[in-house]
Each structure stands twice: as C-alpha cells, then as structure tokens.
Chains A and B, each alone.
Chain A
Amino acid sequence: MYYDLNVPWSPNSSELPRIAAFLHELGYNTIALSHTLDGQIPAKPINPIPTNPFPSLPSLRVLTRCTLILDDPSQTQKLGLLTPIYDIVAIRPTNEKLLLSTCSQMEHVDLISLDFGTRLPFLLKHKVLGTAITRGLKFEVSYAGLATGDVGVRRNLIGNAVSLVRALKGAKGGGVVVSSEARKAAAVRAPMDIVNLGGLWGYGGERGRMGIGGESRAVVVWADMRRRSWRGVVDVLGLGEVPKVVEVAGRQKEKRKAEEEAG
C-alpha cells in the first residue's frame, strides 16, 4: 500500500485528473487532496473538494486534507472546526514558537508539514520534534521541489530533509511521512524511487519504506480514529445487528451451497 498524502487541490486545477492518473499508474493506492488555508479559519468552514473527483479511477482511494498555514497563535482557536470537515488536518507552522506549541500541545492536528523548499527560520531540534512523535504526530517531507524547483529549492529540500531525519533519530518509529505536493504530473515519482532517495538522506531500509507506506497509513488511520472513535479507545463497528449463524461444517454446508445456487 502506497500513500501520497499531499496532492494540492485548487478549484480550477485542470492538471489534477492527470496527476491522479499518474499516481495511480505508479502504484499509489491512496491519495489525499490538499486544500490550503491561509489566515483565519472562517466561522463556518466548508470543504470545497468534491466527494468523488475521479470516477474513472475507482481503485484509487481519495481523501481530503486541509493544510493550514500557521503564522498567528489566534488561528488555533477554531482548529476543532476543521476536524469533521476534512479527513486529515495538517499544520504548517512558520516560526519556532508555533512549531513548539504544535508539537507539544496543539489538539485537532493529524500531521505537521513544513515547507522544506525554503531556508527554515528555525533549527530542527530533537527536543522539540520528539514531543510531537511521542504524541503520535508525524512530520511530512514533500518532494516536488526536487523535480520542479530550481537549484536553491533542491538544496534546501535535501538539507532540511537530512536535518529532520537527524533530529528524529532517537525517536521511536521514525515519524517521517513522504508525500509529493506535486502541482504537475511530471513532479511525481514512483514509490521505490522515493524510498531510494530516503536511503541517501539517512532514512534507509525499512524506515524508508515506512515513509510512503506504514507511517502514512498510521496518519490516515489515526485521523479516522480521531473522528470516529471515542478518544481512540472505543469504536463502534456495526449497528448492533445479530450476526447470521451459519451452522455446521462439511457436507451440510456444501449441500446448502448447492441448494442456494440451484434456487
């Protein structure tokens, strides 16, 4: 199972079906269309992403995601409003103080995404990032800049990715999710190619495969649990119907099957 949790969505994106088709071609099973929110969250937020955007790709699971660019502490007050509307809520903090509060205290967050294409105004320290991992939050690296960005963007991306991996080195379970943030189909890369790049950045072997597989799956599952279950502990699986008892084994079962097929 391969996941790409960051495919930017905009209302007039004509490239989007092509990007989704290409992701599907390369082997990705689940993608998340990301709607970027800047500034204050509106009082009644609406998810503009349509429910079944790619009917010709039925085996591709499409989730909706919101990426909130956080530059003001007052934006966090209405964060809870986004939870029922989007499948995944991602935060992009822009300064050190907000990064610290996102990692240690902020509720209603599923993923922390930083813009690695630019020179970050803060250092990535284990002390800060480690608290996020223990709380179950993961960090996202978006690789579109490698294909579409210029030299500066590529250098920053690689440098920041290496710093992130180094800062998360002691943390249990990796904690890095890799996604594309591709605005054009040509920026997308196949899953194993991304795993190989991870190997060059210090994220080798099984941990690399987790970046597009296991860790991403954890984000999706936990986001779902946050919405469906009570505090991640109790979840209702059915509506309480009494299951049909199919008794008996062997001959009788075959007889019944034969009867069912005939009648």
Chain B
Amino acid sequence: MVRIKSRYLLFNILYPNTPSSNPSDPTIPTHLDFNSPTDPAVTPQLLASLIRDAVLLQFGDWGSGVTSSLSVKYFSPTTSTGILRCPREHHRLVWAALTFIKEILGKPVVIRVVRVSGTIKKVEQEGIKRAKEEIRLVRRVCFSRS
C-alpha cells in the first residue's frame, strides 16, 4: 500500500522511411534500415517531453495529470532503444500514447514497445540481449560486404 509501483517500458524507435541499403533488392529495406540510429539531438529529456506532449494530445489534462511521474530512464541514439518509467495503473495509457506518436524532429517514426516489466532490471537485461543481437547482425552485414 505504501510503496509506489511503476512499470518500465522498453521501446524501440523504428524508421519506416529509411532508403533501402539492400544490395540484392533495392525496394525492400532490411531490418537494419528500419532500426537505424536516431539523431544524437534526441536526448532522454527531449524524448520525455515529446511523450508527455503525446499523452496531453491524446488523453488531455487528465492523462497528463495521472502520468506526471513519467520519465525516460535511458535512451541510446545508436540503437534507438529507450526505457521509460510510468505509473503502474496507467502504463497502458502511456503505451497507447507511444503508439500514436507519428514523428520525432520531423522524421516519421513508429515506436514499438518491446517489453513491459515491474522492475528495471529485467528490462535492462532484455535491452542488453537485443543490443547483442543487433551487433551480431551488423557484424554479419559488414563481413558479408567487405
């Protein structure tokens, strides 16, 4: 009763309009094209304010009131992955606001929530696992091209 419980959301920012780097089929972008790095100007603070604006737009003053403790705990522009913390009762609301976000700094984006957890540890572990997988894919592409 006393402890405030939160939910941590691990999300990816995907770029659907990246030009294809696929040598075999230029009309079909690859997994790495869609998961390209984000502009380094996007900081956790900027992202938090963007998400709060999205909540305000979709859910009004009530939405922004109940999610006042929303914060972006981690964001890496290289992997376009971030961890968001929000109140447990309203995490679906925040998740929906993420789904409604159309663009960041003028670029069209699709935000995809990959993991929801009550503790940040599990979310971090999932993030690390995915980052390792991405590195493996990038390496494979680099070696196949060189």
Chain A: residues with CB nearer than 8 A to chain B?
14, 17-18, 20-22, 25-26, 54, 56-57, 146-147, 184-186, 188-190, 192-194, 196-197, 199-200
Contacts and interface: CB of A to CB of B under 8 A. Distances in A.
A184 B95 CA distance: 22
Contacts of A188: 16, 110
A167 to B, nearest CB: 22
Interface residues of B, number: 27
A54 B27 CA distance: 10
A186 B113 contact: no
B28 A196 contact: no
Contact of B113 (A21, A147, A192, A199): A192
Given A18-B28, A56-B24, A193 B92 contact: no
A185 B113 contact: no
B76 to A, nearest CB: 19
B27 to A, nearest CB: 4
Nearest to B107: A186
B139 interface: no
A70 B74 CA distance: 51
Nearest to B57: A151
A54 B29 CA distance: 12
Contact of B16 (A57, A185, A200): A185
Contacts of B132: none
A17 B29 CA distance: 9
A193 B16 contact: no
A147 B28 contact: no
Contact of A190 (B25, B100, B112): B112
B99 A197 contact: yes
B95 A196 contact: yes
A21 to B, nearest CB: 5
B96 interface: yes
B28 A25 contact: no
B16 A22 contact: yes
B55 interface: no
B17 A17 contact: no
B96 A197 contact: yes
Contact of B27 (A17, A186, A192): A17
A57 B28 contact: yes
A147 B14 CA distance: 14
B93 interface: yes
Interface of B: 14, 16-17, 20, 22, 24-25, 27-31, 34, 92-93, 95-96, 98-100, 102, 108-113
B31 A25 contact: yes
A22 B102 contact: no
Contact of B99 (A18, A22, A196): A196
B29 A21 contact: yes
A26 B99 contact: no
Contacts of A17: 25, 27-28
B28 A54 contact: yes
B28 A189 contact: no
A56 B20 CA distance: 13
Contacts of A14: 27
Given A26-B112, A192-B113, A200 B96 contact: yes
Contact of A147 (B25, B29, B30, B100): B100
A146 B34 CA distance: 21
B100 to A, nearest CB: 6
A26 B34 CA distance: 10
A77 B92 CA distance: 46
A193 B92 CA distance: 10
A18 B92 contact: no
B17 A56 contact: no
A17 B16 CA distance: 12
Contact of A18 (B27, B96, B111): B27
A184 B102 CA distance: 12
